[in-house]
Structure 1
Amino acid sequence: MSALRADVGIDLGTASVLVYIKGKGIVLKEPSVVAIDQYTNKFLAVGEEARMMLGRTPGNIVAVRPLKDGVISDYSITERMLKYFIQKALGRMWLKPRIIICVPSGITEVEKRAVMEASNEAGASKTYLIEEPIAAAIGAGLDITLPNGNMIVDIGGGTSDVAVISLGGIVVSKSIKTAGDECDEAIIRYIRKRYNMMIGERSAEALKVEIGCAYPFEEEKFMEIKGRNLLTGLPITVKVSSNDMLDALAEPVNEILEAVHEVLEKTPPELSSDISNVGIYLTGGGAMLNGLDRLIEEKTGIPTRLADNAVECVAIGTGKSLDSLAYLEKSMKDSERSKFNR
């Protein structure tokens, strides 16, 4: 396949990468994992194939996630991973694509520059950035250009972004490094303490998806999980309950609740009134934790709903913003000018 040029939106997440091509929609969705041979520095697998290797590789092969807490932790691997995904999604292009990448709202200028440089090195003719809450709101179908308050809680793999949006911009926001990955780690810690058993990341994620909850199920659920007994060193199987998961996830869930509460406290009264009427929207894979919407609604007294297609909201919003490249160009120039005049 070849074409002259494509405009591309990328949700560069800690857990997964989604690529949106203008006119086609989401064409690629892969875990942001890379398997590398340490001796030759050669990529052996990328995406889902590499994810299957996590915790299962021999000494010379490492399966790594080059993004941590929503930002680049290994620049060279991120650049090579991006190049691989862009080429896989686009095929052969005569002209380099223009790319929009979404970033957490709390990202620093240095981290922004790292993302832009990695994208440009990976083959972009020009890279634009959009903040995750803005992209999530657009992807959830909200009209953010109106002078109304919209509240988005976007929970990804590495970060949770809570923001109030009005007139196309973020009025109040908070980004915390507590999200899906932290929930997995909390489950691993709990299982180790409660059952003297060590489990891996993939097993913890399976527990979270199947029986994980932020609010008790009407009927308790159970799931068998295999791991290594820390006392004997031998493999064992344990039946874990949804009530165990409720205890295990209490700390990260409370941190997300505190961020929501903090943003609501700082929201101007007029926008608070809008949010009370319209409600809070949850987006991102982490927002699909069972009962999280119900818990937030109970604690805040504000209607809370999980957006349709929550996992892909950010990627869809990033893709839709491809229609506003001129606006993003102006915003970037205004931002640079304000920094220069400071």
Structure 2
Amino acid sequence: MSNAYGIDFGTGNLKIFSKASNDITNIKDTIALVNRNQMYSYGDAAYAMYEKAPANIGVSFPIINGVIADFDNMQTMIYEVLESDLKANIKRSDIVVAVPNDITEVEKKAFFDIFAKAKVRPHSIRICEKPLADAIGMGVDVNEPKGVMVVDMGADTTEISVVSLGGIVISELLPMGGNQLDDSIVTYIRRQFNLVIGRKTAKMLKEEIGSAIEDAQGALMIVGRDVVSGLPMEFEVDAKMVYEGMRDDLQNLATAIKLLLEKVPPELAKDIVHSGIYLTGGGSNIRSLDAFIKSITNIQMNVAERGEETVVMGLSSVVTDAHYSRFGYEMKSRNIN
């Protein structure tokens, strides 16, 4: 039986929509390797080993800055997920892959070649630009002659785009996302309190008590390593500390959005003012981020309910709805002997 899959290779999470089951699979885009080349685990199980694995197990992220950094292991992982976990018959399946718009053609083609250069090739392979998939996933009819601004804050990158009439008018891919916020929190706590914490702990702080505005409340008890004594110790972190750690990065994000707005043609800018800016991606879950960006741009924000999954939700429409099927296009794979 044939099937169709929409796939979003995120830096943090791998999301797959299956047309047959109408379900979305969302797992960590993480691989654990033994002896550098043998896959030991993948997905959530591999991520659980991050910052905890022994020397002979390396935990890596095959997608970095929105593009494929480890082609062979990413290919192995996606086929393992499709064939073993989802029981896919890949030869009879149609695949639509989401890619960032503001990357090179070579980098886009790598997503296509994950399937085109595999031993088992799908029935068809199409590419869909992420900003369009984002907008469709948030319920926007991108076929309309109406300007829509989408800000997708992912793990390593943030893509700011304006779409209209089924195309991308302007787009910019910023090299900052949730991971940079985590690193900034780690750096701030080390500098201010001589305490070393892991990125996982910083991510937990960001998600639990992090806020884009200064007057947020809340505190968490964490464990880190004291720089002076070298011993583990408990330490209470409040929301103000997390805010201070993220403040400069969030300010840079808001400034980038403002600068892109200045480049938007007047008629499209009018549409954006009336419809608001659409905020999505895993980073959209940061408390009060919408209010912070609105304070800089003076434009209403529309926040996705399931920010991590709006791209794959858009892909679900591309593979199931004839109204959006044209947004998946084919690339050619050239074999070099």
TM normalised by structure 1 equals 0.91
Write out per-residue CA displacement over residues 243-292 of structure 1, whole angstroms, 9 at most, x where no aligned residue.
Answer: 11111101221221122112211111011111111111111111111111
Do structure 1's residue 64 and structure 2's residue 60 form an aligned pair?
A: yes
1:215 is the counterpart of 2:213: yes
Question: What secondary structure, in the 3-state scheme, does the structure 1 residue paired with 2:101 have?
Answer: coil
Aligned-partner Cα distance in 1 for 2:238–2:88: 50
Structure 2 residue aligned with 1:260? 257
Aligned letter for 2:219? F
Identity over aligned residues, as a percent?
32
| 2:185 alignment partner AA | I
Answer yes or no: is 1:53 the counterpart of 2:49: yes
Aligned with 1:113: secondary structure? helix
* Secondary structure of 1:59 counterpart: coil
Distance 1:236 1:326 in 2: 55
- Displacement of 1:309: 1.9
1:28-177 to structure 2, matched below 5 A, reads: 28-38=25-35, 41-93=37-89, 95-120=91-116, 121=118, 123-177=121-175
SS at match of 2:145: coil
Q: Is the 8 A contact 1:199 1:228 kept in 2?
A: yes
Q: Does 1:327 align with 2:326?
A: yes
Could you tell me how far 1:130 is from its partner in structure 2? 1.3
Q: Is the 8 A contact 1:28 1:89 kept in 2?
A: no
Q: How many residues align?
A: 328
| Alignment partners' CA distance in 2, 1:123 and 1:210 | 42
Measure, in 2, the Cα distance between the counterparts of 1:89 and 1:273.
46
Output the amino acid matched with 1:38.
N
CA distance in 2, matches of 1:72, 1:177: 15
Superposed CA deviations along residues 81-125 of structure 1, whole A, max 9, x for unmatched, are 111122245305273422111112211111111111113327433
Structure 2: how far apart are the matches of 1:302 and 1:145?
A: 23
Q: Which residue of 1 aligns with 2:176?
A: 178
Matched, 1:231 2:244: no
Any conservation in 1 of the 2:318–2:326 contact (CA below 8 Å)? no
Question: Is the contact made by 2:31 and 2:61 (CA closer than 8 Å) also made in structure 1?
Answer: yes
252-261 or 73-82, which moves further after superposition? 252-261
User: 2:195 matched to which residue of 1?
Assistant: 197
Q: CA deviation at 1:66?
A: 0.9
C-alpha distance in structure 2 between counterparts of 1:99 and 1:278, whole Å: 32
8 Å contact 1:97–1:123 — kept in the other structure? no
Paired residue type of 1:187: I
**What is the RMSD computed on CA atoms of the aligned residues?**
1.8
1:186-217: CA deviations, max 9, x gaps?
Answer: 11111111111111121111001001111134
Q: Distance in 2 between matches of 1:89 and 1:8?
A: 14
Residues 8 and 100 of structure 1 are in contact (CA less than 8 Å); yes or no, is this contact kept in structure 2? yes
Asked if 2 retains the 8 angstrom alpha-carbon contact of 1:25 and 1:316, the reply is: no
The answer to whether the 8 Å contact 1:197/1:230 transfers is yes
Partner in structure 1 of residue 335 of structure 2: none
Q: Comparing 126-135 with 163-172, which one deviates more in the overlay?
A: 126-135
Instruction: Say which is worse superposed, 91-100 or 148-157, in terms of deviation.
Output: 91-100
- TM-superposed CA distance for 1:48, in Å, is 0.6
C-alpha distance after superposition, 1:291-340 (max 9, x if no partner): 110011111011012122222111100121114586246x547xx8xxxx
**2:264 and 2:104 mapped to 1: Cα distance?**
23
Equivalent residues of 2:125, 2:330 under 8 A apart: no
Q: What SS does the corresponding residue of 1:318 show, helix, strand or coil?
A: helix
Query: 1:12, 1:102 within 8 Å by CA — same for their partners in 2?
Result: yes
2:149–2:277 CA contact under 8 A, matched in 1: yes
Give TM-score, length-normalised by structure 2: 0.92
Task: Give the unaligned 5+ runs of structure 2.
Answer: 333-337
